[in-house]
Every structure is written in C-alpha cells, then in structure tokens.
Structure 1
Amino acid sequence: MADSPRYSRPGEEPGDRLDRQLNELLQELRLAQGGTQILFAFLLGIAFQTRFQEADTFIHTVYAATLIAAALSVGLFVAPVSFHRIIYRRQLRHRMLPIASRMAIAGLLLAVLAVAGGLLIALDVILPRTAAILTVAAILFWFGIFWFGIPAWVRRTSGGEE
C-alpha cells in the first residue's frame, strides 16, 4: 500500500508520501486512542463498586471480556508509536505503515467490542437482559455498517488496489 503510486499526490516524493501517510495514521490513532483509554479507565473502576460485586456471573463474564478488549485495543493503538520509535531512522516506514494500519483496524474492532460490552453492562441494570442483549446487538450491527461495512464497500467499488 505505502509504495503504490495510487496513494501519491502529484509531485509528491516517496519519502514525503510516507511522512504524510504516517502523519495521517497518527492523527487517526490520537482520536481512537483517547476514547479507548477513557473507556478502559472507566471500566477499571467498575469492579470496585458494591453493586457490581453483587452482579451475577453473566455480568462478571461480560465485564472481564470487555476489560480485556479495551486493554487490547489500547495496546494496538499505542503499538504503532512503539513500532515507529524502534525503527526510527532505519528507513523502514514503507514496511511499518501497512502493519501499523492493520494494528489500527484491529484496535478499532476491539474498541467496538469494548463499547458494546460496556453498554451491555449498563443496559443490563435498566432493561431486561434480553432487551439489553438485543439492543447491544443492534448497536454492534450499526457500528459494523458505519465503521467497517461502508468503508469496505467504498474501497471495493472504487476500483482501487490494496
């Protein structure tokens, strides 16, 4: 992807293109990282609430999966920064960018799961469990369409290369 002329601007040198692509990725990661870190911090505090400690096994399991998804998401959003730092000044951005992009996509997928889990924990308190699960399933579908489905459709129908 990073080496393809299709992703160049007119008159853009390969090094400039890599710098631009890295900056675009870092801007995207800053946005995703902040929200996921706030969600993760909020989730950490839930375990110490009396009402949560009295919750059933289902909610404890959802909580554990949600907390893990949030932690993994944070890790994937920070990983490109570590990656860049380790290969800094080695002329390897062309290899780093496609990998870092996949890390960001995986981080988004885990962030969606963490949001859904956090929502399920909250909705389970105010709705019957079946209604909470169905609501979260509908919201997951909604996220899937807007975060992944539409971008994949645009990519597939644009005639562009990978």
Structure 2
Amino acid sequence: MTEQERRTGRDETEEERADRMWGEILQEVRVAQMGVQILFGFLLTVVFTTKYDTLNDTDQTIYIVTVVLGACATGALIGPVSLHRLVSGRRIKPQAVTLASRLTFVGLILLLATTACSLLLILRVATHDDYVPWLVSGVVVWYIVCWFALPMWARHRHTE
C-alpha cells in the first residue's frame, strides 16, 4: 500500500494522523477522567460515614464492587497519559494511539459499570422499592445508546 492509499481523506502522513489522533484522545480522556475521579472520590468517602454500618450485606457488597470498578475505570482512563509519557520519543505513536484508544474504550465500559452500580446502591438505600433494578436498567440502556449505539450508527452511516 502506498503512502497516498494510506491517507485518510486529509493530507496527512501516518505520523501526522497519529499526532492528531493522540491530541483527540487526550481531549476525550480529560472529560472522562474528570467524571470518574469525582465519582471515585465520593465513593471512597462512603465507607467512613455512619450510614455505611447500617447497610445490609447486599448493599455493602454492591458498594465494594462499585469501588473496585471505579478504581479500575480510573486506572484505564489515566492509562493513556502514562502510556504517552513512557513511550514518548520512541517513534511508536501510531501503536500508542491504538493502545490508548483501547484503554479509553475499556475505561468507558468500566465507568458505565461504576455509574450503574453507584445508582443501584443509592436508589436501593433511598427507596427500597422493587422498581430500582428497572430504573437502573433504563439508565444503563440510555448510556449505551448515547455512548455506543449512536456513535456506531453514525460511524456505519457516514463512512464508506
């Protein structure tokens, strides 16, 4: 494949494309990092409240799972920054962009799971109603539509 065939509709080389895509990934990750770090920070404080001791075993388990998911999401969404720092100047930016993109995608899935578990725990404690799993499921479906289905639809519809 010639350099011209590898071009993406922009007049850029593979290295220029990797530079552009790296900048885009970092901007995307900044948004997701902020959300996951705030959520994770709040989650870490729950165990130190008096309310935590009154939670039943199921709710405490949901809390522990949520904290672990939040820690994993934080790691995945900060991963691209560490990756960039450790491989910078090694002339492997296209490969680093691919790895950072995968870490970001995994981070988004983990953030979705963290948010869903957080919502489940909060609504279980706040309402004790049987409709909570249905409500949480509806929110998860909404996230999936916004974060994955709509972008995949646009990708399919507007690319060759």
Pair in the same fold by TM > 0.5 = yes
Moved over 4 A (4+): none
User: Is 1:69 aligned to 2:69, yes or no?
Assistant: yes
Equivalence for 2:155: 155
Give structure 2 stretches of 5+ with no counterpart: none
Equivalences, count:
156
Alpha-carbon distance, 1:13 to partner: 3.2
Other-structure match for 1:37: 37
Q: TM-score, normalised by structure 1?
A: 0.89
TM-score (norm 2): 0.90
Aligned to 1:52: 52
Structure 1 residue 149 displacement after superposition: 1.1
| Alignment of structure 1 residues 3-152 onto 2, 5 Å | 4-6=6-8, 9=10, 11-152=11-152
Identity %: 33
Cα separation, 1, equivalents of 2:158 and 2:32? 26
CA distance in 2, matches of 1:54, 1:128: 14
Q: Deviations over 1:129-162 (max 9, x none)?
A: 42222111110011011111111222233344xx
Q: CA RMSD in A?
A: 1.6
User: C-alpha offsets along residues 60-79 of structure 1, whole Å, 9 cap, x if unaligned?
Assistant: 11111111111101100111
The amino acid of 2:59's aligned partner reads: I
Counterpart-to-counterpart distance in 1, 2:6 and 2:69: 33
